[in-house]
Amino acid sequence: MDGVPEPHSGWTFLTNHARVLAAIADDHNARIRDIAAHCRLTERAVQKIIADLEQDGYLSHTREGRSNTYRIDPGKVLRHPAEAGLTVASLMSLLVQDEAARVTTSATGGRPHAAT
């Protein structure tokens, strides 16, 4: 996917930081280009968000050849006082569950699919 993603107008429930973290939780070896495409952000925006998350200890990376492997600190507490005590792991479990449900719903033509 080349170029700048199509802009979104209006508000959303999740921040771009949460979206990027969820994309990394889904694939710890994801390239910035792939994260940007998944989150509908520019690569530059994703680089800035990753730097923010690393600076505050939510994320770290190791260089392996020409690629990065990311590590999320699941015990890190969310930043806003209203979420006091909630961890990154609890947020990711909600987002990963939502992503799995969305893929399943999409595969069944918009109808929810019961777990077997």
CATH number at residue 88: 1.10.10.10
pTM of the model as a whole: 0.75
Asked if the structure places residue 23 within a domain, the reply is yes
Q: How far is CA 57 from the centre of its chain?
A: 16
Asked if the structure places residue 47 within a domain, the reply is yes
Asked if the structure places residue 10 within a domain, the reply is no
Neighbours of 77 (CB within 10 A): 14
Asked if the structure places residue 43 within a domain, the reply is yes
- What are 84's two structure tokens? 């006091």
> Which stretch of DSSP H or E encloses residue 59?
strand 59-64
The tens-digit pLDDT sequence of the chain (116 residues) is 455 556 667 788 889 999 999 999 999 999 999 999 999 999 999 999 999 999 999 999 999 899 999 999 999 999 888 888 899 999 999 887 555 565 555 555 555 444 43
Task: Residue 98: give the domain boundaries.
Answer: 16-107
CB 73 within 8 A of CB 88: yes
